[in-house]
């Protein structure tokens, strides 16, 4: 539908930071245009310093664009309604270590104006859901990294937001924790939420996201459905589904006898990401 309101819409979004040298500036986000449909999982990818956090800050209404616009369900990110519809898990959450998990949740919920009774119920529900029931009255300063991450999720959900922005949710989390993050994203989608996921775990992004955008130097190098971006791949890497082990070995031996290199046939986002960023960075050197 032409006029469908998107969960997130960026149009020519640009952010310049002034540098110490007079008149010079750094363009952290450069005419970013993309839309994220409601109830989808969108992966915003890019190497360090490519502009992901700056984009998120503008979506949260914490930083003003130098040009262009961002909207949340058609609303300005500055508006109270837009803010109430977004939950945010920062990449390095800082929590007051002297508060307990329950008190911290109460603090964020009160800021969102949630009524006391509903808030207390929701706090317990979320802390139980994230496996913190035994620790909810313990000081946050005593939590492990994984527990802090789970508290971060609970905090991001306290206002029952429609959009969840997860900035590096797997940073510093062990593989079991990373898999739990994946399951959590799937459950959010099932509940009808929209997720904007920034992550360097590209295999997970490939499994979880409907669409991705790849940023470098503040610019969108590619965006779209993962299958469309990856295409059919080159036929130098083949997947040999439907063959039995003997037939598979015959194909592999045939290829090797003729000097072919045999490698796993997964056409992955990691390869695409590396290639696009390398090409764009080489282009920068030539500019
Ligand atoms: N307040 C600021 N003042 C000046 N430059 C800034 C400011 N914030 C960010 N930048 C610069 O803007 C660029 C984009 O930074 P940003 O933090 O958005 O990247 P990122 O993709 O989130 O990186 P990472 O993956 O490391 O978190 C970087 O060159 C960064 O140094």
For ligand 1, what atom is nearest to the CA of residue 91?
Answer: 27
For ligand 1, what atom is nearest to the CA of residue 53?
Answer: 22
Residues of the chain with pLDDT below 70 are 1-3, 232-241, 261-267, 286-287
Q: What is the pLDDT of residue 127?
A: 95
pLDDT, the chain, mean: 88
Q: What is the pLDDT of residue 236?
A: 54
- Asked whether the whole model's pTM tops 0.90, one would answer no
Q: Residue 239, exposed/middle/buried by CB under 10 A (0-12, 13-18, 19+)?
A: exposed
Predicted ipTM of the assembly: 0.97
53 lines ligand 1 (CB under 6 A): yes
Q: How far apart are CA 237 and CA 107, in angstroms?
A: 53
Domain parsing of the chain, residue ranges: 1-85+163-171+192-231
Task: Write out the CATH class of domain 1-85+163-171+192-231.
Answer: alpha beta
The rounded Cα 76 to chain-centroid distance in angstroms is 21
**In the numeric block, which tokens belong to residue 274?**
């590396």
Q: What is the pLDDT of residue 253?
A: 83
Residue pLDDT, tens place only, 202-238: 888 888 998 999 999 999 999 999 888 887 555 555 6
Q: Taking a C-beta distance cutoff of 8 angstroms, is the pair 72, 6 a contact?
A: no
Q: What is the pLDDT of residue 100?
A: 95
Q: What is the pLDDT of residue 277?
A: 87
Phi/psi of residue 49, nearest 5 degrees: 80, 10
Q: What is the pLDDT of residue 267?
A: 60
Q: What is the pLDDT of residue 230?
A: 80
26 lines ligand 1 (CB under 6 A): yes
Task: Calculate how far, in angstroms, residue 87's C-alpha sits from the geometric centre of ligand 1.
Answer: 21
Nearest residue (CA) to ligand 1, atom 11? 28
Q: Taking a C-beta distance cutoff of 8 angstroms, is the pair 169, 181 a contact?
A: yes
48 lines ligand 1 (CB under 6 A): yes
Q: What is the pLDDT of residue 39?
A: 94
């Amino acid at each position: 539908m032409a006029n469908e309101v998107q969960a997130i819409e960026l149009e020519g979004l640009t952010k310049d930071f002034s540098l110490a040298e007079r008149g010079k500036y750094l363009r952290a986000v450069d005419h970013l245009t993309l839309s994220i449909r409601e109830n989808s999982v969108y992966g915003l990818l890019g190497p360090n310093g490519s502009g992901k956090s700056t984009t998120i800050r503008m979506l949260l209404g914490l930083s003003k664009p130098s040009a262009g616009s961002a909207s949340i369900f058609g609303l300005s990110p500055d508006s109270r309604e837009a803010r109430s519809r977004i939950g945010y898990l920062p990449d390095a959450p800082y929590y007051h270590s002297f508060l307990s998990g329950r008190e911290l949740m109460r603090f964020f919920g009160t800021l969102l104006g949630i009524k006391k009774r509903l808030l207390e119920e929701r706090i317990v529900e979320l802390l139980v859901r994230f496996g913190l029931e035994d620790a909810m009255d313990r000081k946050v300063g005593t939590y492990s990294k994984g527990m802090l991450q789970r508290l971060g999720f609970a905090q991001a959900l306290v206002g029952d937001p429609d959009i969840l922005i997860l900035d590096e949710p797997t940073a510093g989390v062990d593989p079991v924790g990373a898999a739990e993050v994946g399951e959590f994203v799937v459950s959010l989608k099932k509940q009808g939420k929209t997720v904007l996921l920034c992550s360097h775990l590209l295999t997970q992004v490939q499994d979880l996201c409907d669409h991705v955008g790849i940023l470098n130097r503040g610019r969108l190098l590619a965006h779209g459905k993962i299958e469309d971006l990856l295409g059919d791949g080159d036929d130098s890497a083949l997947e040999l589904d439907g063959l039995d082990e003997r037939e598979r070995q015959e194909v592999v031996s045939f290829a090797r006898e003729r000097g072919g290199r045999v490698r796993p046939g997964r056409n992955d986002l990691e390869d695409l990401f590396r290639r696009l960023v390398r090409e764009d960075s080489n282009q920068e050197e030539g500019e």
